[in-house]
Amino acid sequence: MADRSQSRVRWFLIFWLFILSAVAYLDRINLSIAGSFIAAEFHLTNVQLGSLTSAFLIGYALFQTVGGWLADRLGSRRVLTVGVLWWGIFTSLTAAVPASIVSAVLVLAAARFLLGAGEAVLFPASNQFVSRWIPSQERGIANGLIFAGVGVGAGSTPFLITYIMVHYGWRWSFWISAIIGLAAGASWYVIARDAPELHSRVSPAELQHIQAGRTVVSSPPSGAAGDSNRSVIGNDDRIPWSTILSSKNVWAVTLAYFCFGYVAWIFFTWFFIYLAKVRGLNLRASASYTTLLFLSMAACSPLGGAISDKFTKLRGKRFGRCGIAVFAFLLTAVFLTFGSQVQSARLASVVLAGGAGALYLSQSSFWSVTADIASGSSGSVSGFMNMGNQFGGALTASLTPAIAARFGWTTSFLVAAGLSVLGAAAWLLVDPGRALGSEATLSASLEEASIR
pLDDT in tens, 392-439: 988 887 888 889 889 988 899 999 999 999 999 999 999 988 888 665
Q: Percentage of the chain surpassing pLDDT 90?
A: 40
- So what's the pLDDT on residue 439? 53
| Length reported for the chain | 452
376: in domain: yes
Residues 6+ apart with CB under 8 A from 1: 205
Q: Which long-range contacts (CB under 8 A, 24 or more apart) does 414-417 make?
A: 414/336, 414/337, 414/340, 416/262, 416/263, 416/266, 416/336, 417/332, 417/333, 417/334, 417/336, 417/337, 417/340
What gap in Å lies between CA 418 and CA 401, rounded to an integer?
17
Please answer whether residues 78 and 70 qualify as being in contact, where contact means their C-beta atoms are separated by less than 8 angstroms: no
More confident residue, 57 or 226: 57
How many domains does one find in the chain?
1
The mean predicted confidence, pLDDT, of the chain is 84
- So what's the pLDDT on residue 186? 92
**232 pLDDT exceeds 70?**
no
Distances (CA, A) of 378 to 100, 196, 237, 322, 355: 45, 17, 10, 18, 29
| Tens-digit pLDDT profile for residues 308-365 | 999 998 988 899 999 999 999 999 999 999 988 888 888 888 898 899 999 999 999 9
- So what's the pLDDT on residue 425? 97
Boundaries of domain holding 68: 2-213+243-440
Please answer whether residues 13 and 191 qualify as being in contact, where contact means their C-beta atoms are separated by less than 8 angstroms: yes
Distances (CA, A) of 29 to 35, 143, 154, 208, 448: 10, 21, 6, 40, 52
**303 pLDDT exceeds 60?**
yes
What gap in Å lies between CA 3 and CA 162, rounded to an integer?
46
223: in domain: no
226: in domain: no
Per-residue pLDDT band at 192 (split at 50, 70, 90): very high
Please answer whether residues 306 and 140 qualify as being in contact, where contact means their C-beta atoms are separated by less than 8 angstroms: yes
452: in domain: no
69: in domain: yes
171: in domain: yes
Please answer whether residues 222 and 231 qualify as being in contact, where contact means their C-beta atoms are separated by less than 8 angstroms: yes
Q: What is the CATH number of the domain that holds 97?
A: 1.20.1250.20
229: in domain: no
Terminal Cα-to-Cα distance of the chain (whole angstroms)? 55
Segment 204-214 shows an average pLDDT of 89
Per-residue pLDDT band at 150 (split at 50, 70, 90): confident
Segment 130-142 shows an average pLDDT of 91
Per-residue pLDDT band at 225 (split at 50, 70, 90): very low
Please answer whether residues 170 and 245 qualify as being in contact, where contact means their C-beta atoms are separated by less than 8 angstroms: no
Residues 6+ apart with CB under 8 A from 399: none
7: in domain: yes
